[in-house]
Amino acid sequence: MSPLVKICGLSTVDTLDAAIRFGATHIGLVHYAPSPRHVDLATAAALRQQAGSRVKVALLLVNASPQLLGAAYSAVQPDIIQFHGTETPEWIAKVKQTVPVEAWKAVGLKDAGTLERSQQYRGVIDRLLFDAPAQALPGGTGTRFDWSLLTGHRHSMEWGLAGGLTPANVGEALAATGAPLVDVSSGVESAPGVKDVDKIAAFLKAARS
């Protein structure tokens, strides 16, 4: 079965439409000012409206305050909130009690201990996203982690793979990990924050094949 594919960090109608046209199942909008992929809430809301029901829309937030999270959800109405900071299971559980949204949690996977600690989100989140460990930014850095950390791991919740994926290596990543979902951002860009339609198409083709 083909994996689910999320193109994250979109900021224009053209690249959003391309992601959907070439077969993405999910798209991501980043509302986090330090990121080169940051979009303001008005832009995110417009892109979300453009996507409509053609694809699942994730809004990526990093350690957002309750006020910001409420404002962002109200403005954008995403299908998914992707928590990309140090958010606790308790905090995410409170969010889910307040807004009817899927919750995804990104975790920087650096060793087997991270896999064990990620179990604290079991029963709280809808999907765990294994990413490269945070650097200056919590994601979108184009670096990958050691995929062999996932070899033989028995997943207890829905999950996905992110971090350093490109059209050239996504097939290898899927073969190595069996990921049910792959998430790409910088790997389909011509410059930081600038999505490339041809690279989006190539990534989706490679993931499907």
Residue 20: CB atoms within 10 Å: 19
Q: What is the rounded average pLDDT of the residues 67-83? A: 97
Split at pLDDT 50, 70, 90, the class of 137 is: low
d(CA 53, CA 131): 27
* First CA to last CA distance, the chain: 10
What letter would DSSP give residue 159? Answer: E
pLDDT in tens, 81-131: 999 999 999 999 999 999 999 999 999 888 888 888 999 999 999 999 999
pTM of the model: 0.93
pLDDT in tens, 161-187: 999 999 999 999 999 999 999 999 999
Please give the domain boundaries of the chain with CATH numbers for all domains.
Answer: 4-208 (3.20.20.70)
Answer whether residue 140 shows pLDDT above 70: no
Q: Give the model's pLDDT for residue 106.
A: 95
Residue 197: CB atoms within 10 Å: 17
What letter would DSSP give residue 121? Answer: G
